Amino acid sequence: MRYILRRTLHLGFLLLGVSLLSFFFLALAPGNFLDNLRLNPQISTETVAALRVQYGLDQSALMQYFHWLRSLMHGDFGFSLAYNQQASALLLPRARNTLLLTITAAAVSWILSLAVGIWAATHRNRFLDRVISLGTTTLLGIPDLLLLLLLLLLAARTSILPVGGMVSLDFEAMSFTQKCTDLAAHMMLPLGALVLGALPTLVSHIRDAMSTALQEPFLMAGAGHGISRRRLVLRYALPVAANPLISLIGFTVGALLSGSLLVEMVLGWPGLGPLLLEAIMSRDIYLVIGAVMFSSFFLVGGTFLADLFLYWNDPRIRVG
C-alpha cells in the first residue's frame, strides 16, 4: 500500500505542476480574450473595462491561478469567457466522448496486438511473420494525418460508414438498440484510425518481448519435457514478458490521446480536441486549462493503471 500511496502522491503533484506551468505559460502569451472585443466598434471601451474587472483579468496571474484552484475544488474548472458559463459544463461531456473513443481504441489495439504479436513470436522468421513485419513497418511509416485522410476518402467513396460526427440527427428518436448501432457506426472511422496508428508499435514490442521470453532456458527445458507449445506460451512465456508490456499501457494511452485530438478535429468527433482548438483560437484561458488538465489526467491515469498492474504482477515491487 505504501507503493500505491507514493505513486498517488507523485501523480497528484504532477497534475498540480502541469496546471501551474500551463496557466503561467498562457498568462505570458500576448493578448487575451478581451482583445477580440476591442476590435468590435459596437462595444465601448467602458464595457471592455467592466468585463475585465468582472472576469478578474485585471488581477495578477498568481491571483487568477488561486481563483481557478478554488473553483476547481468546487468542480467548476473556472469560467468560460467565450461561452459565458462554467467550464465544467462544456468539458465534462467532451471528456466523456474522448474517453469513450480512447478506451475503446486502447482495448481493441491491445486485443489485436496481443493476438498478432504472440502469433508472430511463435512463428518467427516464417513467411507470415515477415508479412506482419512488413505491414507494421508500412503503417509506421504512414503519417497519421495521411492515414486518416485515406480512411476518410474510403468511407466517403463507399458510403458504408457515416463520415463525421458522433451520432445521426435523429438519434434521440431511435430505440436503445438503434442508438447503440448508430453510435458504433459513427465510431468505426475514428476508431479504425486510432487502432491502425497504435498497432505497429504494440505488435513490434509484443513480438520482441515474447520472442525474448521464449528463449529462456526454463521454457526450452519445458518444451523438451513435452509441455505443449500453447501452454508454454500462455502459461509461462506471457507472464515473463508481462512487465515490459504492462509498462506500455501508459505510453499507449498517451499516444492514443494525442492521436485522438487530431482524429476528433478532422472527423468532427465532439471530444476535447475541437473544444481545445476553439478555446485556443478565442484565447479562453480557463477552457484551455480545463482541456489540458483533463488530457493530463487521462494520461497519468493510464500510467497509474500500469503501475497497479505492475504491483499486482511483480512480487519484487510488493516486497520492495
The CA–CA distances, whole Å, from 229 to 122, 144, 222 equal 9, 37, 9
Model confidence pLDDT, tens digit, residues 110-130: 999 988 888 888 888 788 878
d(CA 25, CA 277): 17
pLDDT digits (tens, 9 = 90+) for 23-54: 888 877 777 777 777 767 777 777 777 877 77
Task: Please tell me the least confidently modeled range out of 131-135, 283-287, 308-312.
Answer: 308-312
> What pLDDT is recorded for position 112?
92
Domain 104-278 -> CATH class: mainly alpha
Dist CA 296 CA 181 (whole Å): 31
Helix, strand and coil content of the chain, in percent to the nearest 5, comes to: 80, 0, 20
**Residue 13 confidence (pLDDT) above 80:** yes
* Alpha carbon distance, N-terminus to C-terminus of the chain: 11
Residues 141-198 pLDDT 10s? 888 788 888 888 888 888 788 877 788 888 888 888 888 888 888 888 889 888 988 8
Residue spans per domain, the chain? 104-278
Question: What's the whole-model pTM score?
Answer: 0.83
Work out the mean pLDDT of the chain and round it to a whole number.
Answer: 82
* Per-residue pLDDT, 219: 73
**Cell of residue 131, nine digits:** 508479412
CA–CA separation, 21 and 17 (whole Å): 6
Can you tell me the mean pLDDT for 228-244? 78
Cα separation of 288 and 1, whole Å? 35
The distance from CA 39 to its chain's CA centroid, rounded to whole angstroms, is 37
Percent of the chain with pLDDT over 70: 97
Q: Which three cell numbers stand for residue 265?
A: 478535429
Instruction: Provide the pLDDT confidence category of residue 320 given band limits of 50, 70 and 90.
Output: low
Report residue 3's pLDDT band, with 50, 70 and 90 as the boundaries. Answer: confident
297 or 164: which carries more pLDDT confidence? 297
DSSP 69-133: HHHHHTT---EETTTTEEHHHHHHHHHHHHHHHHHHHHHHHHHHHHHHHHHHHHTTTSHHHHHHH
Is the per-residue pLDDT at 226 higher than 70?
yes
